Amino acid sequence: MNSLGFFELMSFGPGGWAPALLKAALMTLAIAGTGYVIGATLGTLLAWAKISGRRSLRVVAETYTTVLRGIPDLLVIYLFYFGGSLLLTKLARLFGHDGFVDLPGFAAGSIAIGIVSAAQHTEVFRGAYRAVSTGEIEAAQAIGMDRFLLFRRILLPLVARHALPGMGNVWQITLKESALVSVTGVVELVRQAQIGAGSTREPFYFFFAAAVLFLVITSLSGFVLGRAERYFNRGVRR
C-alpha cells in the first residue's frame, strides 16, 4: 500500500492527523499559558521582595532566582512530577489509601514551568520598575495621590511600558519549554508529533508540521504583544 503524502497526512480527512495535532497545539497553549500566569504572579512577588529594601526578603528572592537559573528546566519538571507524586502518595496513606498516587502531568508541568519562568519575570519586573523615573512618582505624591491611585494611574502603566518587551521574550521561552512537559505523559504538540511519526514512519512530516504550528503560535503571540506595546507607548516620543 502506498504511503500517504504530507498533505494527506496533515488533512482533516480519513487518515489525516490535523485534528490530533491541533488538539495537541491547544494543550501546548494551555500548559504555556498556565505556567506563564503562575510565573508572572510569583515573579511580581519576588520583584517586590528585591525592591522592598528588606534584607531578608531580598536574600530569599536572590536565592530563588540563582537556584532556578542554575537547574535545567527538564530537571525541575522531573522534581515536581516525581516529588509531587511522592507527596500525594504519603498524604493519601494518612487517609487510608494504599497505593501510588500520580500527580497529573498537566499540573506538574505547568507549575514547574511557572516556577522556572518566575525567575525570569522577576528580573523583567525589577528592571522595569527601576526604569521608571522617580520624578514622576514624586510628582504624583506631591499632588496628593494615595498609594492605590498612584499605583493604578502612574506606576502600573509605566512599569508595563518598560516590562512588555521582556514579558514577550519570557512568553516565547515558556512556549518552547512546554515541549518538555511531554516527559510527564501529557500529549502536547511535540509528543503528538512523535506519536504520529511512530505510527506512520514519516518523522520529518510530523516534526515539520509541529514546527510550523509553533511558528504560527509565536507569530500570533508577537502580533498581540506588539499591539500591547503600542497601546502602552501611546503619547511617547519615538
**pLDDT confidence tier of residue 16, bands split at 50, 70 and 90:** confident
Q: Is 50 a residue whose pLDDT tops 60?
A: yes
DSSP for the chain, written as a single string: -PPP-HHHHTSSSTT--HHHHHHHHHHHHHHHHHHHHHHHHHHHHHHHHHHS--HHHHHHHHHHHHHHHHS-HHHHHHHHHHHHHHHHHHHHHHTT--S--PPPHHHHHHHHHHHHHHHHHHHHHHHHHHHS-HHHHHHHHHTT--HHHHIIIIIHHHHHHHHHHHHHHHHHHHHHHGGGGGGGT---HHHHHHHHHHHHT-HHHHHHHHHHHHHHHHHHHHHHHHHHHHHHTTT---
Reference 22, options 162, 214, 170; nearest CA is 214
The separation between CA 226 and the C-alpha centre of its own chain, rounded to angstroms, equals 18
**pLDDT confidence tier of residue 13, bands split at 50, 70 and 90:** confident
**pLDDT confidence tier of residue 140, bands split at 50, 70 and 90:** confident
The answer to whether residues 17 and 92 touch, using CB atoms and an 8 Å cutoff, is no
Q: Output the nine-digit C-alpha cell for 110.
A: 505547568
Amino acid of residue 195? I
pTM: 0.89
DSSP for 171-230, written as a single string: HHHHHHHGGGGGGGT---HHHHHHHHHHHHT-HHHHHHHHHHHHHHHHHHHHHHHHHHHH
**pLDDT confidence tier of residue 1, bands split at 50, 70 and 90:** very low
Q: Is 133 exposed, middle or buried (0-12, 13-18, 19+ CB in 10 A)?
A: exposed
Class of domain 28-189 (CATH, top level)? mainly alpha
Over residues 107-117, the mean pLDDT reads 93
Could you state, in order of their start, the residue ranges of all structural domains in the chain? 28-189
Over residues 179-200, the mean pLDDT reads 91
Reference 10, options 234, 232, 205; nearest CA is 205
Range with top average pLDDT, 125-129, 144-148, 231-235: 125-129
Q: Output the nine-digit C-alpha cell for 134.
A: 522617580
Range with top average pLDDT, 49-58, 94-103, 179-188, 206-215: 206-215
